[in-house]
Amino acid sequence: MKFIIYISLAIAIVACTKTSVQKYPNGTVAKETLKENGINVIRLYYPSGALMERIEMQDSIRHGLDETFYEDGKLESKVVYNHGKQKGDFTYYYPSGALMATVDESSHSIFYYESGAILKEYKPINKEIDGEFTAYTPSGSISQKESFKNGNHYTTELFYSNGTRAEFSRRCENNRLNTTRYFENGQVHSIHDSIGQYKYYFEDGKLESEHTIKDSTSEYRRYYPSGILASYRILKNKNPIESKSFFENGTLSKYELYMSQEEWESYGYKKNPGHEKLRVSFYPDSTIKDSCYAIKFGEKDANLCKRIHPGGVLKSVDSLKKDTLISHKFDWDSELVSTCKRYYDKNKLVEECQKFSKAKGK
C-alpha cells in the first residue's frame, strides 16, 4: 500500500514540474513556466494571484490550448494552436459566460450581444486585405455594412432602425468619397461627390442648397422651399468675394462685396476704408435700406453706415474723423435728432450723445 502511494506521489511530481518563476513587486507570482504531463506550459497571473492566462508551448511557440480568464476565474477566451497557427475557432466570452465573439482560421469574425443576437460580422475575401463587415441592432436588423478593397474602406452603408438606408459612400480612384445621405422616408438628404460638389435637399426632394468647388473658387447657393434662390456666396482662395441674399419674391435683400480701390470709388468712396467690405441692404421694393462698410475701430471691427427710411428719407449716417466714430440720426422730415461720438481714451471706450429738441420726429 505504501509502495502505491509513493509511486502516485512520484507521478504527481513528474506531471507538474516548475522550471522558472517571475514575481510582482508585492511578491505574488506573475509568471511561471512549468511542465504539465510532459507539456510545456506558461501561466500568467493577476497581481491578486488569480490565473490570467494558460498557454501550451512547444519549441518556444504556441502549440495546444490557450485560455485566458477573468480575475474571478471565469473563462474569457480560448483557442487551439498548431505550431503557432490557429486551429479552429478563437472564442471570446462575456463575464456572464455568454458567447461574445468567434473568429475562425480565415478571420471570419462574428460578434454577439450578450443576449445572443449578432452584433457585427466580418467576412474576409483575401484574409485581412479585402472583405465585408456587417453590424446589427439588438433586434437583428442591419445597422451598418462596409466593404474593403486593397486594405482600405471601399463602400460604407448605414441604416435607420426601420431598415431604410441612411447613408451610402464609395471611395473613388482619387481616394475621395462619394457620399449620399438619406432621410428616413428614403428621400435623398445630401450628395457629396469626389470632385467638390455638394447638394442638400428638403425632405420633399426639392433642392435646399448646393456648394461647388472649382480650382480655388467656391460658390454656395441656398434656396427657399419654393425653389426661389435665397442667397449665394463666392469665395476665392477661401476669401469672400461677393454674397447676395434675396426675399422669397426674388428681389435683392442684401448685397456684400469685397472690392478693389477702383470699385470703392465707383460707389462714391474716395479711399479704401480698410476691410474692403461693402454691405448694402434693400427693402422688398428694391430701394436701399442701408449701405455699410467695415473698418477697424480700436481693437474691434465697426461699420460705417448710411441708413435710409422707407421712401428714401435719410435715417442715419456714420463717419470717422481722427479716430472718433460719429453717428447722426435724422427723423422723417430730415431733421437732426441726435449725434453720438465714440472714441477710445486710454483703451476705454467713451460714448457722448447729444439730442436735439427741435426735431419733429423720433
The overall longest dimension of the chain from CA atoms, in Å, is 130
CA distance 12 to 10: 5
pLDDT score of 195 = 77
Q: How far apart are CA 95 and CA 252, in angstroms?
A: 66
Distance from C-alpha of 253 to C-alpha of 288, rounded to nearest angstrom: 9
Which pLDDT score is estimated for 233? Answer: 93
Per-residue confidence (pLDDT) for residue 240, from 0 to 100: 80
194: left (phi over 0), alpha (psi -120 to 50) or beta: alpha
Contact yes or no for 80/67 (Cβ under 8 A): no
Tens-binned pLDDT, residue by residue, of the chain (362 aa):
333 323 233 333 335 566 789 999 999 999 999 998 889 999 999 999 999 999 999 999 999 999 999 999 999 999 999 999 999 999 999 999 999 999 999 889 999 999 999 999 998 877 656 888 899 999 889 999 998 887 777 899 999 988 899 999 988 776 778 999 999 999 999 999 877 789 999 999 999 999 998 888 899 999 999 999 999 999 888 778 889 999 999 999 998 877 655 655 665 555 444 445 778 898 988 888 998 877 777 667 777 889 998 888 999 998 888 788 889 999 888 888 999 998 888 888 889 999 887 544 44
**Cα dist. 110→89, 90, 102, 116 in Å?**
11, 11, 5, 11
217-250 b/e (C-beta count within 10 Å ≥ 16 → b): ebbbbbbbeeeeebbbbbbeeeeebbbbbbbeee
H or E segment at 132? strand 131-136
So what's the pLDDT on residue 277?
72
pLDDT the model gives residue 11: 32
Domains of the chain, each with CATH number or no CATH: 1-102 (3.90.930.1), 106-195 (no CATH)
What are 231's three cell numbers?
A: 442667397
Per-residue cell: 339:
449725434
